[in-house]
Amino acid sequence: MTRRFDADFLIIGAGLVGLATAWKLLCARPNARALVLDKEHAVATHQSGRNSGVIHAGVYYEPGSLKARFCREGLQATYAFCAEHDIPHARCGKLIVATSPLEVLRLKALAERARTNAAAVEWLDQAALSETEPAVTGLAALRVDDTGMADYPAMARALATLVQNAGARIELGQTVQSVRERSEGVEVQTPGAAYSARHLIVCAGLQGDRLARQAGLALDFAIVPFRGDYFRLHDARSSLIRHHIYPVPDPALPFLGIHLTRLVEGGISVGPSAMLAFAREGYRLSHFNARDLRDMVLFPGLWRVLGRHAGAGLRELGCALSKSRYLREIRKYCPSVELEDLLPHPSGVRAQAVSRDGRLLHNFLIRETAHATFVCNAPSPAATASLPIGAEIARLALRH
């Protein structure tokens, strides 16, 4: 007798990656029975709804990597999707500003990398920089005209509507507690229900590694949460800049540094920092979660990564504890910002995979078993890249 499953494809996670995956699956296989589960009561509650809102152009990423490829494809796909579905967005461009001779050298390397990645950039000398952005100071800058901004929560809601209109179910408020892979499919348990599916796709962001381990995958990395604290500039400063303004990042870290970001709804955000969080969904410095903390402390990769990046860690701790210290980072390239300009703004937490030997994993990471596909590392720019990531996961899942 053939087994009757609740769904052909069961997707855990209604963030941008899970919803884009469901949508791409249904585009490729319109008759498939797809079910999306999320533990929260709204889509895009975590990373997809708590980010900088930037559409990235693909400047920074290792040439040939999944990140480089999917970011370039995602750039075009996100603009097209936003235009087609009336989602607020704009191509405002960005400047990456070097403020020291070392940063000028790093900026030159970044310009080379951008060209290899087919991202169009223009070099600005000091005079051209101050003409382009009078409030910004630096020795040189790279201008990236393709960079933009989008309302990512609205994009997630639009994807959810498309998925439901295509016949799939989205069940919110369903925390998946256990995942079991069987010989012919997968069983998933929430507190109130049990589901079975031919194929499982896990896009669970900050909780992704836990569900993968439950399903029996042996992982040599763990998700470590890095909180990004933001401020919002006072409305009186909302015309301070015309582009997003970024510092030159430390090439050893996957984080881009505290930047000034134009918001699609108007105004400017400042951030995010990158401070180790004491809870995977800990949006305040004071948030602790005993299980998350225990897992982190017992994970050798955490101590190795802290040792390797001790200087950056101390700088981040300073920014988390002191607003003046945070302000100093912004004033390196935008000296007119004052302490009283910085108003509260919601934080986000990045799901960053760290290997057992203490490396911050930069690339997107997807693992597969016979009946399941796991998104194990989808940090920035995975909002920009969500549509091509979704297409790739759909392709992998449909092969089964």
Ligand X SMILES: Cc1cc2nc3c(=O)[nH]c(=O)nc-3n(C[C@H](O)[C@H](O)[C@H](O)COP(=O)(O)OP(=O)(O)OC[C@H]3O[C@@H](n4cnc5c(N)ncnc54)[C@H](O)[C@@H]3O)c2cc1C
Contact residues for ligand X (CB under 6 A)? Answer: 12-18, 37-40, 44-48, 50-54, 56, 175-176, 203-207, 228, 272, 348-350, 375, 378-384
Nearer residue to ligand X within complex by CB, 70 or 299: 70
Give dist(CA 255, CA 329) in Å, integer.
14
**Amino acid at the residue 287:** H
Nearer residue to ligand X within complex by CB, 212 or 334: 212
The phi, psi pair for 99, rounded to 5°, reads: -120, 5
| Least distance in angstroms from the C-beta of 273 to ligand X | 9
Nearest CA-CA partner of 227 in 343, 352, 324, 357: 352
Nearer residue to ligand X within complex by CB, 48 or 117: 48
Structural contact between residues 72 and 58, judged by C-beta atoms closer than 8 angstroms = yes
H/E stretch holding 156: helix 152-165
Nearer residue to ligand X within complex by CB, 46 or 113: 46
| Least distance in angstroms from the C-beta of 229 to ligand X | 9
Nearer residue to ligand X within complex by CB, 140 or 156: 156
The residue whose Cβ lies closest to ligand X is 15
| Least distance in angstroms from the C-beta of 86 to ligand X | 20
Give dist(CA 365, CA 377) in Å, integer.
5
Nearer residue to ligand X within complex by CB, 153 or 301: 153
| Least distance in angstroms from the C-beta of 1 to ligand X | 31
CA 353 to centroid of chain Cα atoms: 12
Nearer residue to ligand X within complex by CB, 56 or 237: 56
Structural contact between residues 303 and 358, judged by C-beta atoms closer than 8 angstroms = yes
| Least distance in angstroms from the C-beta of 193 to ligand X | 12
Give dist(CA 344, CA 230) in Å, integer.
7
| Least distance in angstroms from the C-beta of 45 to ligand X | 5
| Least distance in angstroms from the C-beta of 50 to ligand X | 6
Task: Supply the DSSP string of 257-325, one letter for each residue.
Answer: -SEEEE-TTSSEEEE---EEPSSTT--STT---HHHHHHHHH-HHHHHHHHHTHHHHHHHHHHHH-HHH
Give dist(CA 1, CA 214) in Å, integer.
28
